[in-house]
Structure 1
């Protein structure tokens, strides 16, 4: 079984994550926040929260993505994964500028992850019957 679309989507998500890591490093340099410190001006804290929240979401996202791909198909998993990716990007860009505007991206990515999980469970339940 080839899971080409899901594999490319995984690469794209990791690309987004690398961009978020870069933003944290850049913010540390800009605001002169030396590791291991995690406190600073609100602009720095917003960048740090985007990173932390994205890592938290990836714990749900990646297993759900690959379970969905295995049990319901490559294209469905990649499509829902793309929605998650767009939601995470929206979340990051909004949060970087104004923390109060992050909700739409957060909800899009959370619902996409839950959709992946539900699709995976639906696919798995067909085997259990």
Structure 2
């Protein structure tokens, strides 16, 4: 079983997470927020929240992605994962500018994650066979 598309998507998601971490580091530097402080100006707090929320979402996303890939196929899982990734990027860009604008990206990524989980359930239950 080759899961190359899901593997590539996983690497892309990890790159997106590294981007989040770099933004937090830049905000720490720009706003003079020394580690391990977790409080600072709104720009820093928004960057921290984007990074933290992304980690929180990855805990659900990665198992759902891989279970969907294994049980329902590489391409469907990778495509839904790509939707999740775009949702997270939209979420991050919006949240960094204005916290009240984060909902669209959050909704896109949440729906994609739930679809991945449902894809795993459908594949595992044998409904598609």
TM-score of the aligned structures, taking structure 2 as reference length:
0.97
Q: For 1:35 and 1:43, how far apart are their aligned partners in 2?
A: 16
* Structure-2 separation of matches of 1:11 and 1:55: 15
Aligned match of 2:29: 29
CA distance in 1, matches of 2:101, 2:13: 22
Aligned residues: 127
> What TM-score does the superposition give when structure 1 sets the normalisation length?
0.97
Question: Stretches of 4+ moved more than 3 A in 1?
Answer: none
Counterpart mapping for 1:1-129 below 5 A:
1-126=1-126
Q: Alpha carbon RMSD of aligned pairs, Å?
A: 0.8
Structure 1, gaps ≥5 residues long: none
Unmatched 5+ stretches in structure 2? none
